[in-house]
């Protein structure tokens, strides 16, 4: 099963009708007066998104826009892999693998395809196994290492023996994993929204904190606050993902709230991501039935016996972009496990920078990989 087949998104009309019926029958949760976002997404946020889906949002237009890009599916390790493959059209184009995380999807990269192909990159943009049009995973064990192996096979099938990798969020963990698995094949790794491997993973002595820059102290405080106030989703998805899976698989309002809490929680405003881009991303999960399988990534990683072992440095040149609003990466904690050759700190953007500031993100990524040509 090594064939690669063209793919187009064609959501059946019956699914669109079912979505509208479920939205019309939504039972909204009560909320504490004056709580705002402190306890999770507000009723105002959820009802606003529901209203947009019922009155004005055009899935067929979003679908047609995505279908303008060449898409394909193949089967690797028993799992369907969906991906966009957009070529620059030049003989010296550098292959570049773009990796999303959770609760994102390939939708994160739609606005950066044009600037990156214009800059001379052949783009491969997969839906991670268990996400979107790659469909639900069919068995347990799809952790970062297994995903990395599948994506290496994908690049081999496409004829790319040497390529760059960029990732954010979970993609920022998988990208270095690919480099460790095949350092001779990876030209460079670039990450943003970086966490594991780029942040402190244990207690820090007060005398060490005293040597931090103001920016590092801010990031450490931000990280500690996030762990204290917002990390519950990770604990749940790492231990009891099926508990939440029923709600977000059955209720579009529930899915909007669960994904919306992450998109808003990583920024300083629930409006950090354009509303229709957010809804397109939500509907990719909804129509493909991958709300449950996507969060199993956390469970599979948490139950990987190698997950918390120290990782070797691949030696692959690595670039890190720290976008201004809510990033937590601290260079001194990234140096040991990564060969950092570029560390860029930007004032704009946040965790979902490719969605928030696509031109800035694309320029940063292109500059890093052009320096390696």
Q: DSSP string covering 60-104, please?
A: HHHHHHHHTS-EEEEEETTEEEEEEEE----TTPEEEEEE--SS-
* Strand 121-126 versus strand 94-99 pairing type: parallel
> In which band, very low, low, confident or very high, does the pLDDT at 204 lie, cut at 50, 70 and 90?
confident
Tokens of 91: 């003989």
Query: Which residue range is the domain that position 353 belongs to?
Result: 41-370
Residues near 285 by Cβ (< 8 Å), separated by ≥ 6?
Answer: 103, 105, 131, 132, 255, 259, 291, 294
- Does pLDDT of 339 surpass 80? yes
Residue in the structure block whose two tokens are 């604990």: 235
Across 290-294, 328-332, 334-338, the highest mean pLDDT is recorded for 290-294
What's the Rg (C-alpha) of the chain?
20
Are 100 and 128 within 8 A, CB to CB?
yes
Question: φ, ψ for residue 357 (rounded to 5)?
Answer: -135, 70
Question: Is 9 within the bounds of a domain?
Answer: no
Residue in the structure block whose two tokens are 């991906």: 83
- Does pLDDT of 348 surpass 80? yes
Lowest mean pLDDT among 56-65, 128-137, 270-279, 328-337: 270-279
Question: Is 21 within the bounds of a domain?
Answer: no
Please count the structural domains in the chain: 1
Question: Is 7 within the bounds of a domain?
Answer: no
- Does pLDDT of 208 surpass 90? no
**pLDDT tens-digit readout, 153-200:** 999 999 999 999 999 999 999 999 999 999 999 999 999 999 888 988
What is the arithmetic mean of pLDDT over 334-343? 95
What is the arithmetic mean of pLDDT over 88-101? 97
Question: Is 220 within the bounds of a domain?
Answer: yes
Question: Is 274 within the bounds of a domain?
Answer: yes
**pLDDT score, position 161:** 97
> In which band, very low, low, confident or very high, does the pLDDT at 9 lie, cut at 50, 70 and 90?
very high
Chain mean pLDDT for the chain: 94
Tokens of 238: 């790492």
Instruction: Supply the CATH number for residue 282's domain.
Output: 3.40.50.1820
**pLDDT score, position 302:** 95
Question: φ, ψ for residue 311 (rounded to 5)?
Answer: -100, 140
Question: Is 99 within the bounds of a domain?
Answer: yes
Question: Is 296 within the bounds of a domain?
Answer: yes
Question: Is 328 within the bounds of a domain?
Answer: yes
Alpha-carbon distance 101 to 62, whole Å? 21
**pLDDT score, position 206:** 85
**pLDDT tens-digit readout, 235-258:** 999 999 999 999 999 999 999 999
> In which band, very low, low, confident or very high, does the pLDDT at 273 lie, cut at 50, 70 and 90?
confident
Question: φ, ψ for residue 109 (rounded to 5)?
Answer: -100, 0
pTM: 0.96
**pLDDT score, position 286:** 98
């Amino acid at each position: 099963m090594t064939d690669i087949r063209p793919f187009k998104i064609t959501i059946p009309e019956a699914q669109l009708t079912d979505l509208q019926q479920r939205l019309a029958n939504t039972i909204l949760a009560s909320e504490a007066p004056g709580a705002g976002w402190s306890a999770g997404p507000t009723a105002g946020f959820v009802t606003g998104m529901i209203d947009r889906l019922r009155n004005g949002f055009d899935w067929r237009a979003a679908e047609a826009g995505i279908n303008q890009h060449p898409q394909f599916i193949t089967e690797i390790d028993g799992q369907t892999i969906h991906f966009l493959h957009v070529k620059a059209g030049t003989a010296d184009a550098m292959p570049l693998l773009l990796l999303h995380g959770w609760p994102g999807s390939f939708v994160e990269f739609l606005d950066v395809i044009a600037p990156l192909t214009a800059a001379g990159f052949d783009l491969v943009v997969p839906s991670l196994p268990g996400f979107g049009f790659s469909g639900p995973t069919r068995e347990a064990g799809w952790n970062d290492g297994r995903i990395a192996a599948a994506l290496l096979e994908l690049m081999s099938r496409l004829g790319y023996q040497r390529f760059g990798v960029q990732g954010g969020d979970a993609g920022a963990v998988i990208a270095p994993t690919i480099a460790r698995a095949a350092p001779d094949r990876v030209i460079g790794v670039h990450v943003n929204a970086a966490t594991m491997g780029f942040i402190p993973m244990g207690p820090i002595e007060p005398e060490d904190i005293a040597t931090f820059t103001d920016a590092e102290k801010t990031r450490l405080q931000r990280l500690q606050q996030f762990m204290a106030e917002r990390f519950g989703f990770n604990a749940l998805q790492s231990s009891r993902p099926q508990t939440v899976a029923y709600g977000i698989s059955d209720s579009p309002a529930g899915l909007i709230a669960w994904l919306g809490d992450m998109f808003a929680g990583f920024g300083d405003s629930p409006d950090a991501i354009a509303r229709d881009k957010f809804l397109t991303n939500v509907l990719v999960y909804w129509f493909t039935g991958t709300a449950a399988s996507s969060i199993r990534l956390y469970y599979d990683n948490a139950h990987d016996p190698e997950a918390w072992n120290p990782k070797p440095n691949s030696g692959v040149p690595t670039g890190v972009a720290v976008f201004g609003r809510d990033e937590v990466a601290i260079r001194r904690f990234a140096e040991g496990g990564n060969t950092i050759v570029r560390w860029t700190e930007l004032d704009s953007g946040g965790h979902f920078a490719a969605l928030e500031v696509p031109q800035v993100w694309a320029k940063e990524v292109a500059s890093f990989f052009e320096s390696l040509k």
